[in-house]
A and B are shown apart, each in its own frame.
Chain A
Amino acid sequence: MTQTADLRTSQPYLSLRNLIKTYGSYTALRDVSIDIKQGEFVALLGPSGCGKTTMLRAIAGLVTPNSGDVLLAGRSLVGVPVERRDLGMVFQSYALFLHMTVAENVGFGLQMRKAPKTAIAAEVDQALCLVRMEGLKDRYPSQLSGGQQQRIALARALVTKPKVLLLDEPLAALDAKLREAMQFELRQLQQQLGITTIFVTHDQHEALAMADRVAVMNSGRVEQFDTPRVMYDEPATPFVAEFIGQMNRWPATLVDRRGADALVRSDSGDIVVRSIDGKVAVGGEVAVMVRPEKMQISAGSGANGSANAVPGRLKGVMFSGEKTFCYVETPLGLMTTVMQNRTTGADVGLASGDEVVVTWRAEDTIAFPSA
């Protein structure tokens, strides 16, 4: 794989500063600030209604924020009309011009910039080549499949060589197989062009797989803006921890701090936790979280030398192809563990009703102050 495009410049290319947007009594953006580097692929991820699309539309100029600023290469875009922002956008519905051919659709941006006809034709060919749709120039959008329409919409947005590419759930309407193929292709294309890209999605796998950095949003705020790996391993807030991937969660009380680690007391004995928010006082309530795939499950009741162990009874085993999920009833509630099926026909070797012990390492354990 080619290395991520030009991320060397530390100067932010696109900056959102304290953006606020309200619709009547509903607040879509609450004081959002993020800095995006040139050539970076950023995913805006969150549940529906979290403000991610509003944020994208504010960058495009389709939404006017109540306050705050959008800076592109150091210049404010506030007050600059949509058509003069020089950004490319792909809509979830693709929004192709149904009365125009593919070539006319793709050439529209150049036509609006009053480019000469011959130049338009050449650029359109190039853009269609980029999305591998060369043969369809004279078709109308209604004669194309969803995947083809998606590529045409992408070509139309790229043909003007925009400063930033804005993608509003562009793959949401495609079926699963095609979506996966397009994720890879889109990412390759973005790196090839080195174009700064902002991608709105509600699909966490898509966000983690494609983006250099992910901004997880929740009720109008950016909860965390980080690389996918940090986002997954070191979530900054309980929302991020539980929104991305799966989490086992149970309540406990902080007993003691020892250097980097902390000791918490739960209904099933003491648990060693990696790091904990400095604000939590000894005796404070915390929520302990561990990812299912970080947990081990074995027969018997010994701790196997792991820092943390909870006894339980195996309630069910679910085989799902590449993984097997085990559900264990413990004094802390139902816990999920995941095992990779590395060999064909691999079996857990355990049956429902077996006495088991769930073990995991201190560094895989995180805790947040209880809300």
Chain B
Amino acid sequence: MNSLPLWHRLFVAAVVIFLAAPVLIIVGVAFTSAEFVTFPPRGFSLRWFEKVLTDAQFMVPLWNSFLLGVASTATSIVLAVPAAITLVRNQVPMKDAVLAFMLSPLSLPTIILATSLLFFLARFGLGTSPVGLLIGHVIITVPYVLRTLLGVYAGIGPETEEAARTLGAGRWRTFWHVTLPMIRPGLLAGGILAFLLSFDEVAVALLLSTTDTTTLPVSLLSYLVYNYDPAVAAISTVQIVIVVVLLLILERCFGVNHLVLPSK
């Protein structure tokens, strides 16, 4: 770092400030003792945290968002792993077209996706069911998991799995003992992305959730329509803390650092 010229270091500092400032402002506002959002915050109090942490209006959606994030991530992984293995290792007719199709939700505005899903799922009586909500989120998250897995898996080459086969491991045991550990960096990176996307997602949840299944971003949105108090900042801070804690746990267990930013 010492070799970086001054202008370069200033530029990096500016980018960091630009990215981090809104987060710091929200966290700062959350500790205010005032009745409304101001910055810099006036006084110091935990009253807004007390409010949101005891208020079912925030806690139920937070729990819903967490469950939905976990379910979307798990479902995406279950769908993306066989897809990635097949696309990388086998001769698939029209491979590029299949791949483009599977990644296509990336290029679709989520509000359009949400609208059409609502109509489509309603045909099966799933319009605003929890399953429908999960399907909507999986459509959004699966391309991210798949994309990450494809990169990691394609870089591995078939010989390691072939070696396992020659040593007496059948297809399933080869997958379990060799393939899965090798693609774990991709699984973790893709899984983290998927969870964060789902945890944050507004458009699909807005149209496909009900009062029982409402997610945190949706309830924040509706709360903001009539309220302008720092409770929103407090619950956002809680959300940030949850994500940071999750990342730290993953980092401690698996060393996410070089997983989220694969070298290639």
Contacts and interface: CB of A to CB of B under 8 A. Distances in A.
Contact of A113 (B165, B168, B182): B168
Closest A-B pairs by Cβ, 8 of them: A112-B168, A109-B167, A95-B159, A95-B163, A82-B165, A89-B166, A99-B181, A95-B160
Contact of B165 (A62, A86, A96, A166): A62
B166 A81 contact: no
Nearest to B167: A109
Nearest to A156: B167
A91 B177 CA distance: 19
Contacts of B182: 98-99
Given A97-B178, A98-B182, A99-B182, A89 B163 contact: yes
A156 B166 CA distance: 11
Given A93-B157, A97-B178, A99-B181, A83 B162 contact: no
Contacts of B168: 83-84, 86, 109, 112-113, 160
Contacts of B178: 97
A88 interface: yes
B181 A95 contact: no
24 contacts: A60-B162, A62-B165, A62-B166, A82-B162, A82-B166, A83-B165, A83-B168, A83-B169, A85-B166, A88-B167, A91-B159, A92-B159, A95-B162, A97-B164, A97-B181, A98-B182, A99-B181, A112-B164, A112-B167, A112-B168, A112-B173, A113-B168, A153-B163, A157-B166
A156 B169 CA distance: 13
A87 interface: yes
Contacts of B157: 93
Nearest to A153: B163
A89 B158 CA distance: 14
A86 B167 CA distance: 8
A160 B159 contact: no
A153 B162 CA distance: 13
Interface in A101-122: 108-109, 112-113
**Interface range for A:** 20 to 34
Contacts of A93: 157, 159
B170 interface: yes
Contacts, number: 69
Interface string A312-346: 00000000000000000000000000000000000
Interface in B216-257: none
A83 B163 contact: no
Contact of A97 (B160, B165, B173): B160
A256 to B, nearest CB: 56
Contacts of A88: 166-167
A87 B167 CA distance: 8
Contacts of A84: 168
Contacts of B167: 83, 88, 108-109, 112, 156-157, 160
Interface of B: 157, 159-160, 162-170, 173, 177-178, 181-182, 184
Interface in A149-176: 153, 156-157, 160, 166
A62 B162 contact: yes
Contacts of B165: 61-62, 81-83
Interface string A54-78: 0000001110000000000000000
Contacts of A160: 167-168
B258 to A, nearest CB: 13
Contacts of A112: 164, 167-169, 173
Contacts of B162: 60, 62, 82, 89, 91, 95
A7 to B, nearest CB: 25
Contacts of B184: 99
A153 B173 CA distance: 20
A157 B165 CA distance: 11
Contacts of B159: 91-93, 95
Nearest to B165: A82
A198 B167 CA distance: 17
A74 B165 CA distance: 23
A98 B184 CA distance: 12
A87 B169 CA distance: 12
Contacts of A62: 162, 165-166
Contacts of A113: 168
Given A62-B162, A82-B165, 16 more contacts: A60-B162, A60-B166, A83-B166, A83-B168, A83-B170, A84-B168, A91-B163, A93-B159, A97-B177, A99-B181, A108-B164, A108-B177, A112-B167, A156-B167, A157-B166, A160-B167
Nearest to A91: B159
A60 to B, nearest CB: 6
A131 B117 CA distance: 61
A99 B160 CA distance: 11
Nearest to A88: B166
Interface string A17-45: 00000000000000000000000000000
Contacts of B177: 97, 108
A109 B168 CA distance: 6
Given A98-B182, A99-B181, A99-B182, A81 B163 contact: no
Contacts of A91: 159, 162-163
B164 A87 contact: no
A36 B86 CA distance: 36
Contacts of A153: 163
A153 B166 CA distance: 12
Contacts of A81: 165, 170
Contacts of A156: 163, 167
Nearest to B160: A95
Contacts of A86: 168
